């Protein structure tokens, strides 16, 4: 085959390297070139979507289904209730134990709005199909890849289609589908489609059978659901583990978070190519009209200003702007002063809800939460929220001194547990479990000088201590570092906001720790004297050969001790007088009780109760007050065995609630 000779006249032949012998012609090459469907691409690159290994794949499938269910419920204005069931799938023989199984069936049920029949196949069996990509509005899902990718993974590993049951109202029938993706065309293939009887009046159920591994601990399905419960106290979650346990996470907030609004892009947030596309696609006939109608925060006045700045007539047809003119326009837009985008498109979890979530799931002495005012990165508004749970909880602390029954020998020390803090990260209420160290939240937590707040921290490490650090980023577009949505990209603006939020949490923690330390040191002072008085009196008595009025000396010394340690004032300090005064949005837990905005945790043994929840999903207005929700809690969503303080929680680990409920899904 000869090389094209078009320009070879100019190039001296002698300088050309010897030509390799070509064996394939351009035409042949051309014949091999063809379109790659997204599905095919992701089949080969499934690690990009979070299916790198069987353990992670199990988590990703659960995660995608749960995220979809929650988004659907919230968008429809229904208080979400989700049941997750993960079970070992067996091929006829008796199923292996969960820890050894490699095949699982995941069923997620919600009692949400349901899906209309026509859309079911495409939602579950077409990649990049969904409602969330094209709008700027905060939601868990973003691209419309997740659930269909999970379905594709199932198809790839077990060959089983995705099974869906959905019903939109009590009057409508329930539809049962079995679908798979045609990976070549990225189109759904329907295996089964029929009307069935379904016990739920409304909602969606998805069943996937996949290859996976179930292993507890870090980044497990269990951890994921526990963290979902922390950040979403308005969700009622029931989880049936592969080991046959049922964990229930009750609802502690009985109102939906405010609906986020959809917004138009902010001019600062778009790239040049995007601007060109928008210019081409707009329905406006003039540049100024385009600017003010297709962007947020661009008034007609600002639009005029931009046009003037770019020296382009405001009446120019947007389609006619390209090349250099467009570039000038883009630069002018970036240098014009424009208001920050509106923040009603994002709905933060809220300080109270974070507090409740942490308090419910994590055992501690101190909780606090901070919601930052909205900020902007690349034209996208976002809100950072942070929370802290600190300590081991009073029961744990009370249990502890019982341990060293023996006096310590020389060289023996009371061991200090030097565990590091645990960072739990969220983006739009979704827990992030992988790639912690790549995440802006983690970096900000490292960056914060926790030592200023009385927490020890070695260089370049997380602070040490029994502490959980909660960070949430809510935004219309969370900048993830990869498609599998595992870490938030490290924008300066984002990192700065996280740091500010953490610093505020730290400050409050510092106040709490100092107060507690003060009371403790007063207590210790008194204690020291009390202890040593005995010793001194005994020794004096022996020195005096036993001829000493011991009681008298002891009383005299104790009187002095009391006077010296502040007498009654200290008594008060030792009591629970140091409430969360001056500590907004905080909860302090002591052995005596709880102070602050703590939700009341039911202490009564639960009565098994599912139907009540149905009513709960649409609570009457009055029930939104806190008092009501408390009483509601007590009757409807009991979660623990009665205990001295009614708080049965794992230490710094989300709680294990036991209850049964039925599976379902939307």
Partner 1 sequence: MARKKAKKNGAVEKKLVGVADTVISAAERSKDPTLSIPVRSLANVTFDEKRGMIEMGRRKQARSFFNVGMAKKFMQTVLVADALAELQRADLTTSLREIYYRTKHTIRNSHENTFDGQNESDPLIEDLEVTLAALREELHVRAENSGTVVGPLVLVDDGDRVDCTRLGKGGYSVPSIVEPEYIQITKCTADFVLLVEKGTQWNRLSEDKFWRRYNCILLTGNGQPPRGVRRLARRLHEEKGLPVYVLVDNDPWGYYIYSVVKQGSINLAFESQRMAIPKAKFIGFSSADPDRYGLPRNVGIKLNDKDINRAKELLKYRWFQKKQWQDEIKRMLSSGLKYELDALANKNFQYLTKTYLPRKLKEKDWLD
Which residues are near partner 1 by CB under 8 A? 401, 404, 407-408, 410-411, 524-525, 528-529, 531-532, 534-536, 539-540, 542-544, 548, 553, 556-557, 559-561, 563-564
In the bound complex, what is the minimum distance in angstroms from residue 532's beta carbon to partner 1?
4
Compute the least distance from the CB of residue 102 to partner 1, in Å.
50
CB of residue 538 vs partner 1: minimum separation in angstroms? Answer: 8
Residue 84 phi, psi (nearest 5): -120, 130
Contacts of 68 (CB under 8 A, 6+ apart): 140, 141, 146, 147, 206, 666
Residue 529 CB, shortest distance to partner 1, in Å, is 6
Phi, psi of 406 (to 5 degrees): -90, 145
Contact partners, residue 252, CB within 8 Å, separation at least 6: 233, 356, 357, 360, 599, 629, 633
Put residue 107 in one of left, alpha, beta given phi > 0 → left and psi -120 to 50 → alpha: beta
Question: Dihedral sign, CA of 550, 553, 556, 562?
Answer: negative
Nearer to partner 1, 145 or 561 (CB): 561
Exposed e or buried b for every residue in 267-292, given b needs 16+ CB within 10 A? bbbbeeeebbebbeebebebbbbbbb
Min separation Cβ 541 and partner 1, Å: 8
Smallest gap from Cβ 512 to partner 1, in A, equals: 23
Torsion of CA 508, 509, 515, 516, to 10 degrees: 150
Question: Reduced to 3 states, what is the DSSP secondary structure of residue 119?
Answer: helix
**Considering beta carbons, is residue 308 or 564 the nearer one to partner 1?**
564
Question: What's the CA gap between 486 and 156, in Å, rounded?
Answer: 23
Nearest distance from residue 414's CB to partner 1, in Å?
8
Eight-class DSSP state of 336? S
Cβ neighbours for 648, distance < 8 A, ≥ 6 positions apart = 640, 641, 655
Cβ of 246: how many Cβ atoms within 10 Å?
A: 15
Task: Write down the least CB distance from residue 528 to partner 1, Å.
Answer: 5
Cβ proximity to partner 1, 244 vs 546, nearer residue: 546
Smallest distance from partner 1 to CB 548, Å: 7
* Cβ proximity of 654 and 233 under 8 Å: no
CA distance 138 to 601: 31
Nearer to partner 1, 198 or 529 (CB): 529
What does the alpha-carbon distance between residue 257 and residue 347 come to, in Å, rounded to a whole number?
7
Q: Would you give the distance in Å from CA 282 to the centre of its chain?
A: 36
- At closest approach, how far in Å is the CB of 464 from partner 1? 24
Give residue for tokens 């095949």. Answer: 103
Residue 35 contacts by C-beta under 8 Å, 6 or more apart in sequence?
none
Nearer to partner 1 (CB atom), residue 77 or residue 404: 404
Looking at the Cβ atoms of 355 and 557, the one nearer to partner 1 is: 557
Shortest distance, CB of residue 578 to partner 1, whole angstroms?
20
CB closer to partner 1 out of 134 and 563 = 563
Rounded least distance, CB 539 to partner 1, Å: 4
User: Based on CB atoms, which residue is closest to partner 1, 277 or 524?
Assistant: 524
Radius of gyration of the chain (CA): 31
Q: Quick one: 272 or 532, whose CB is closer to partner 1?
A: 532
Pick 190 or 560: Cβ nearer partner 1: 560
Please say which residue, 373 or 404, places its beta carbon nearer to partner 1: 404
Q: Which is nearer to partner 1, 159 or 407 (CB)?
A: 407
Task: Give CB contacts under 8 A, 24+ apart, made by 18-26.
Answer: 25/1
Both structure tokens of 575: 């009591």
The enclosing H or E element of 196 equals strand 187-196
């Amino acid at each position: 085959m000869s090389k094209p000779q078009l320009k070879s006249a100019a190039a001296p032949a002698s300088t050309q390297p010897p030509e390799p012998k070509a064996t394939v012609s351009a035409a042949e090459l051309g014949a091999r070139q063809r379109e790659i469907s997204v599905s095919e691409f992701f089949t080969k690159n499934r690690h990009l979507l979070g299916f790198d290994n069987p353990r992670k794949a199990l988590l990703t499938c659960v995660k995608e289904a749960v995220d979809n269910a929650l988004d659907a419920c919230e968008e429809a204005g229904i208080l979400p209730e989700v049941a997750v069931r993960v079970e070992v799938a067996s091929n006829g023989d008796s199923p292996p134990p969960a820890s050894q199984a490699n095949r699982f069936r995941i069923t997620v049920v919600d009692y949400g709005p349901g899906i209309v029949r026509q859309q079911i196949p495409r939602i579950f069996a077409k990649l990049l199909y969904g409602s969330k990509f094209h709008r700027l509005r905060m939601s868990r899902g973003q691209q419309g890849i997740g659930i269909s990718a999970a379905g594709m993974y199932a198809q790839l590993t077990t060959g089983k289609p995705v099974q869906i049951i959905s019903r939109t109202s009590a009057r409508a029938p329930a539809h049962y589908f079995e679908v798979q993706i045609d990976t070549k065309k990225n189109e759904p293939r329907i295996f089964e489609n029929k009307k069935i009887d379904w016990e739920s009046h409304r909602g969606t159920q998805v069943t996937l059978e996949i290859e996976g591994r179930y292993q507890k601990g870090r980044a497990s399905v269990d951890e994921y659901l526990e963290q979902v419960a922390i950040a979403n106290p308005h969700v009622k979650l029931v989880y049936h583990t592969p080991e046959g346990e049922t964990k229930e996470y009750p609802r502690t907030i009985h109102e939906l978070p405010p609906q986020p609004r959809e917004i138009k892009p902010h001019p600062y947030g778009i790239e040049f190519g995007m601007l060109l596309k928008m210019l081409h696609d707009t329905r406006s006939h003039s540049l100024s009209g385009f600017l003010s109608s297709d962007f947020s925060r661009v008034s007609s006045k600002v639009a005029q200003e931009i046009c003037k700045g770019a020296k382009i007539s405001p009446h120019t047809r947007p389609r006619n702007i390209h090349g250099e003119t467009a570039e000038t326009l883009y630069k002018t837009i970036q240098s014009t002063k424009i208001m920050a985008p509106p923040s009603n498109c994002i709905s933060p979890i809220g300080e109270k809800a974070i507090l409740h979530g942490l308090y419910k799931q994590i055992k501690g002495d101190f909780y606090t939460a901070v919601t930052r005012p909205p900020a902007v990165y690349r034209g996208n508004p976002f809100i950072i929220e942070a929370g802290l749970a600190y300590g081991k909880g009073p029961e744990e602390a009370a249990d502890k001194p019982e341990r060293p029954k023996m006096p310590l020998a020389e060289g023996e020390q009371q061991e200090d547990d030097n565990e590091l803090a645990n960072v739990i990260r969220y983006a739009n209420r979704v827990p992030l479990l992988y790639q912690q160290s790549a995440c802006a939240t983690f970096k900000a937590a490292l960056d914060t000088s926790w030592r200023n707040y009385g927490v020890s921290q070695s260089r370049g490490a997380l602070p040490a201590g029994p502490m959980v650090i909660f960070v949430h980023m809510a935004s219309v577009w969370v900048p993830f570092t990869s498609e599998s949505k595992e870490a938030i990209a490290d924008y300066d603006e984002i990192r700065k906001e996280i740091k500010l939020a953490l610093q505020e949490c730290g400050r409050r923690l510092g106040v709490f720790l100092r107060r507690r330390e003060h009371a403790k040191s007063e207590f210790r002072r008194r204690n020291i004297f009390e202890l040593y008085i005995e010793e001194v009196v005994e020794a004096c008595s022996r020195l005096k050969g036993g001829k000493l009025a011991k009681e008298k000396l002891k009383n005299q010394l104790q009187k002095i001790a009391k006077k010296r340690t502040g007498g009654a004032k200290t008594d008060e300090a030792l009591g629970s007088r140091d409430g969360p005064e001056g500590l907004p949005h905080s909860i302090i837990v002591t052995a005596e009780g709880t102070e602050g905005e703590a939700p009341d945790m039911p202490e009564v043994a639960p009565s098994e109760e599912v139907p009540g929840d149905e009513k709960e999903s649409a609570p009457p207005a009055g029930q939104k007050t806190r008092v009501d929700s408390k009483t509601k809690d007590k009757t409807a969503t009991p979660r623990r065995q009665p205990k001295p303080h009614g708080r049965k929680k794992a230490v710094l680990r989300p709680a294990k609630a036991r209850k049964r409920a039925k599976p379902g899904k939307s």
